[in-house]
């Protein structure tokens, strides 16, 4: 879907949602189901079939808005609009919001990594979302083992399907070790960076590099810093096994 010229992905998503709605209606499914299933399908296709927030909103909201406009939702109880939240929560469990909502790494954003950081044999995208970071890492190092971990079950599944070359696990990046990789890549939030630094210092092997798109680690000097073709900053850090920093983070001094 994503490879089709715009606006074909939107037209096909809306048509598929309406076809499913018509089928369920014809089978005399309950009205709420005939609306909820096409809606959920539209949300999933919005994440798989388009890039960028605006296009995803267009794909995902096309069916519910047109259903409301045609009066199909008239008579539905007001709470039924909460059904909108169900597919969203499935796609995006609350814990994932705390670290970063879904903003994919732009294509080609990590092309400069090998020139800056040399060869890397095993790389991890912590919070791999839909797999755009995995694709960018594979572009940078075609021969590296590429790993991803993602909290949202649906996004982890999408990543796995899109990036067959990578090993993608569904799980919490904070609860899994970052050892064994010679580069860990993050595209999270500014608030997550101090925690990421402490984890990198405690888990990562000597010589392994922590790379962050857009957000720097406060108070730490990057070993390299540059701009992507899209004008975003990339920061690379060499975590040090700093037991004091780590124990201070875990058990603050009184």
Ligand X SMILES: C[S@@+](CC[C@H](N)C(=O)[O-])C[C@H]1O[C@@H](n2cnc3c(N)ncnc32)[C@H](O)[C@@H]1O
Residues near ligand X (CB under 6 A) are 95-96, 99-100, 102-105, 125, 127-129, 132-133, 149-152, 155, 172-174, 187-188
20 or 158: whose CB is closer to ligand X?
Answer: 158
Please state the closest distance from residue 243 (CB atom) to ligand X, in A: 24
17 or 202: whose CB is closer to ligand X?
Answer: 202
Please state the closest distance from residue 234 (CB atom) to ligand X, in A: 12
C-alpha–C-alpha distance, residues 194 and 246, integer Å:
11
67 or 96: whose CB is closer to ligand X?
Answer: 96
Please state the closest distance from residue 133 (CB atom) to ligand X, in A: 3
Q: How many CB atoms lie within 10 A of CB 68?
A: 14
116 or 189: whose CB is closer to ligand X?
Answer: 189
Please state the closest distance from residue 170 (CB atom) to ligand X, in A: 8
Q: Looking only at Cα atoms, what is the longest distance across the chain?
A: 67
Tell me the pairing of strands 224-227 and 233-237.
antiparallel
- Phi and psi, residue 188, nearest 5°: -120, -125
C-alpha–C-alpha distance, residues 39 and 35, integer Å:
6
Q: Which of 144, 188, 187, 140 is nearest to 166 (CA)?
A: 144
- Phi and psi, residue 86, nearest 5°: -60, -55
Please state the closest distance from residue 232 (CB atom) to ligand X, in A: 11
Please state the closest distance from residue 211 (CB atom) to ligand X, in A: 11
Helices 153-162 & 31-49, crossing angle to 10 degrees? 50
45 or 149: whose CB is closer to ligand X?
Answer: 149
139 or 172: whose CB is closer to ligand X?
Answer: 172
* Residue whose beta carbon is closest to ligand X: 127
Q: Which of 204, 195, 192, 176 is nearest to 248 (CA)?
A: 195
C-alpha–C-alpha distance, residues 2 and 9, integer Å:
7
Beta bridge partners of 123: 146, 183
């Amino acid at each position: 879907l994503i490879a089709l010229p715009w606006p074909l992905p939107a037209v096909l998503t809306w048509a598929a949602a309406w076809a499913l709605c018509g089928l369920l209606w014809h089978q005399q499914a309950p009205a709420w189901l005939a609306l909820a299933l096409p809606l959920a399908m539209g949300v999933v296709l919005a994440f798989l079939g388009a890039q960028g927030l605006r296009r995803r909103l267009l794909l995902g909201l096309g069916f519910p808005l047109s259903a409301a406009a045609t009066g199909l939702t008239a008579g539905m109880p007001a709470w039924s609009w909460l059904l909108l939240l169900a597919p969203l929560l499935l796609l995006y469990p609350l814990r994932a919001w705390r670290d970063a909502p879904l903003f994919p790494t732009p294509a080609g954003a990590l092309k400069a990594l090998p020139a800056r950081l040399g060869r890397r044999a095993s790389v991890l995208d912590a919070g791999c979302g839909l797999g755009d970071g995995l694709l960018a890492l594979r572009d940078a190092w075609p021969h590296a083992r590429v790993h991803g971990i993602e909290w949202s079950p649906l996004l982890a599944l999408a990543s796995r399907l899109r990036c067959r070359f990578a090993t993608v696990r569904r799980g919490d990046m904070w609860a899994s070790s970052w050892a064994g990789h010679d580069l860990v890549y993050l595209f999270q939030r500014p608030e997550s960076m101090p925690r990421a630094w402490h984890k990198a210092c405690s888990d990562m092997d000597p010589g392994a590099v922590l790379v962050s798109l857009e957000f720097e680690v406060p108070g730490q000097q990057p070993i390299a810093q540059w701009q992507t073709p899209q004008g975003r900053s990339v920061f690379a850090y060499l975590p040090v096994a700093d037991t004091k920093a780590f124990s201070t983070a875990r058990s603050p001094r009184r």
